[in-house]
Chains A and B, each alone.
Chain A
Amino acid sequence: MTLVAVKVLHRRELTIWEKLYIPQVLGGLRVTSRHLFRNLFLHTAHRLGLLAYLPAAVTVQYPEVLRRFETRFRSRHRLTVREDGTPRCVGCMLCETVCPAKCITIVAGEHPDPNVEKYPVRFDIDLGICVYCGYCVEVCPEDAIRMDTGIVDVAAYSRREMQLDIHELMNPALRKPIGDCSLGFPHQCGIAGGQMKGDWSVARGDTTPPA
């Protein structure tokens, strides 16, 4: 025989007053009617342009009105850029390593500046896999990746469209399909079919490209 912990629940019996139902129903009606008439009055007042500071509903009319996000809210990623328009990312692979969802793919290339050493030739994030944990932002030593674009309507018709490449990460305003590659530094470009595109001389504004 096993001992089982038994917790006896004593439900409160209804009083006569409560068993009559009618007073309780009226009490409930008072609450709902208060809301109904208050909100009806406010909706009418809003139509007339009055009392705009008193909200009649908690609803946010989403596509037209966007809710204000807190500053630490994690939205779609972006790569920060240096003054010359090249990514701050040094291709250290910390974010790719820490990513629990393994949604980041980086291919590093040699940076012409010996103090920087590396930069991302390719930087892809698959938003279909991303869990928005923000570890990549936390771990980045260069403040090169942030999740502060405020973009939350990440939706697509195919998995391919959920995969962001370096173009969209450096310019959050871009949406697929991307028409033309505008990045000046050398990178592996989906538009060029995975071929290298761009030139350091263009990115740095050199008048004559090196031979």
Chain B
Amino acid sequence: MVMDVAVKLTLAALMFFGVLNLAALHTWLERKQSAIIQDRIGANRASILGFRLMGLFHPLADAVKMFTKEDVVPAGADRALHTLAPIFSVFFALVAFAAIPFGDRLVIGGRVIELQIAKIDAALLYVFAMLSVGVYGVILAGFASRSNYALLGGLRAAAQMISYEIALGIAIIGVVMIYGTMDLQELVRAQGKHLGGWIPLWGIVVQPVAFLVFLTAALAETKRAPFDLPEGESEIIGYFVEYSGMKFGMFFLADFLETIMVACLATTLFFGGWQVPYLMRDGFHFPWGATLPIAQWAYVLLGIASFSIKVVVFCVFFMQLRWTLPRFRYDQLMTLGWLGLFPISVVNLLATGLALAFFKG
């Protein structure tokens, strides 16, 4: 019993260490990548003892700044809700990570450890529930600020997230239908087969349309450019206008956490999670017949590395998209969601169902 708790705590610590550090690195990535795309150098002035490390100390400096800034609560605002909103956002963004499997099962001394904080049968539902509850943080922030701009921003965010969640959910049902499970660990395990021994049967191979819809809708869920209408720092401003200091920082953190969450989901659902092509539990089985047996710990480590690399690549890709595309207009956003992604995802769902009925039945 004590061991079980210890194992779970270790897993949680590992996951959150990785995720929170990745979120901090996102601020660095955001600055540097945008700078390099735009032929600039980017933030590189923060230094410790003269070492600048390509601006890697800037996240640290940011944190110090956020914590030491004055925390302003507008006059007449609901003080409790105003404080609760950012906590809400960060909490539910973090909690969703519990269901993400980041490696295959590890067997140590007869104890089977699934590399996943919480083994939930309906993990997918759980993740989306947590992401949906995140909307409350946003609305609460807009509502509790007692500012019309913040309220409008919060409403924009709510409308956007609710509209895109539908396309998101329907796109994912296709994947669930094919692999026949909502348990993310099982879903990843089901992606370990290969088509004709060559092509790994990842979600992207069997559900390419769903992947595109999912990617677009998920980007909209993260409230980042090109779907950053809820924020629009430079002109329309959003739900966190009235926030300062670490409370603002927490919204920022929640944003980055959601981006990482979406990267994790895209990896898990469409890119085989911790699967490495041609790697089985007992070693590599290459399509040309060769085999390369490896130890269990190497297999699990390769899986974790594979998962991490895929997630980071997705994060970089999202960042690249963010610095490529201009913001949508609000009517375009709604048109794309309801008249574009929603019908496509429904048609995809029907096609998947028909295909399954013909080929499996």
Report Cα–Cα, A61/B40, bound state, in Å. Answer: 10
Q: Measured between alpha carbons, how far is A99 from B33 in the docked complex, in Å? A: 47
Contact of A36 among B33, B41, B336 (CB under 8 A): B33
Hey, what's the 0/1 contact readout for A137-155 against B, CB within 8 Å counting as 1? Answer: 0000000000000000000
Kindly state the separation between the CA atoms of A36 and B324 in the bound complex, as whole angstroms.
11
Known pairs A22-B212, A36-B33; A29 contacts B321 (CB<8 A): yes
Pick from A21, A36, A59: contact of B37, CB under 8 Å = A36
**B38 close to A (CB within 8 Å):** yes
A35 touches B38 (CB 8 A): yes
The residue that B36 contacts in the complex, of A25, A29, A31, A35, with Cβ under 8 A, is A35
Q: Is the CB of A29 within 8 A of B41?
A: no
Give Cα A25 to B212, complex, Å: 12
In the complex, residue of chain A having the shortest beta-carbon distance to the beta carbon of B340: A21
Q: How many residues of B contact A (CB 8 A)?
A: 15
Do the beta carbons of B40 and A59 come within 8 Å of each other? yes
Flag if A25 contacts B321 (CB, 8 Å): yes
Q: Tell me the nearest residue of chain A to B317, going by C-beta.
A: A29
Whether A85 sits at the interface, judged by CB under 8 Å, is no
Within 8 A of B (CB), among A39-71: 39-40, 43, 56-59, 61
Set of chain B residues within 8 Å of A40, measured between Cβ atoms? 36
Within B308-359, the residues touching A (CB, 8 Å) are 320-321, 323-325, 336
Distance of A117 from chain B, by nearest CB (Å) = 54
B324 touches A43 (CB 8 A): no
Chain B 19-58, CB within 8 Å of chain A: the 1/0 string?
0000000000000010111111100000000000000000
> Which B residues are in CB contact (< 8 Å) with A59?
40-41
Q: A5-37 interface mask toward B, CB cutoff 8 Å, 1 = contact, 0 = none? A: 000000000000000011001001101110110
Residue from B40, B212, B320, B336 in contact with A29 in the complex, judged by beta carbons closer than 8 Å: B320
Query: How far in angstroms is the closest Cβ of chain B from A41?
Result: 10
A36 CB, min distance to chain B CBs, angstroms = 5
- B336 cross-chain contacts in A, Cβ below 8 A: 21
Given contacts A22-B212, A29-B320, contact A36 B325 (CB under 8 A): no
A35 x B39 contact (CB < 8 A): yes
Contacting residue for B320 out of A32, A43, A56, CB 8 A: A32
- Rounded to whole angstroms, the CA-CA distance of A58 and B40 in the bound complex is 6
User: Is B320 a contact of A33 with CB atoms below 8 Å?
Assistant: yes
Which residues between 59 and 114 of chain A lie within 8 Å of chain B, taking CB atoms? 59, 61
CB within 8 Å of A: which B268-314 residues: none
| Contact pick for B41, options A21, A35, A61, CB 8 Å | A61
What's the least CB distance linking A53 to chain B, in Å? 16
Alpha-carbon distance between A59 and B320 when the two chains are bound, in angstroms: 21
Inter-subunit contact A36/B320 (CB<8 Å): yes
Say whether A57 contacts B323, CB under 8 Å: no
CB nearest neighbor in B for A20:
B340
A28 touches B325 (CB 8 A): yes
The smallest beta-carbon distance between A52 and chain B, in angstroms, is 15
Are B40 and A36 within 8 A (Cβ)? no
Find the B residue at minimum CB distance from A34. Answer: B37
**Least CB distance, A109 to chain B, in whole angstroms:** 49
A25 close to B324 (CB less than 8 A): yes
B340 to chain A minimum Cβ distance, whole angstroms, is: 8
Q: Which residues of the other chain, A, contact B320 by a CB distance below 8 angstroms?
A: 29, 32-33, 36
Assess the B324–A31 pair: CB atoms within 8 A.
yes
Q: Which residue of chain B is the closest to A55 with respect to CB atoms?
A: B39
CA distance in complex: A36, B41 (Å):
11
Asked if A43 and B321 sit within 8 Å, CB to CB, the answer is no
Structural contact, A32 and B324, CB atoms closer than 8 A: yes
Name the distance in Å between B135's Cβ and chain A's nearest Cβ. 25
The answer to whether A32 and B41 have CB atoms under 8 Å apart is no
Min CB gap B341→A, angstroms: 10
Ranked nearest first, the 7 interchain pairs of A and B with the lowest CB-CB distance are: A59-B41, A28-B324, A32-B324, A39-B36, A57-B41, A32-B37, A35-B37
Where the two chains meet, the residues of A that have a C-beta atom closer than 8 Å to any C-beta of B are 21-22, 25, 28-29, 31-33, 35-36, 39-40, 43, 56-59, 61
5 interchain pairs (CB within 8 A)? A22-B212, A29-B320, A33-B320, A35-B39, A43-B36
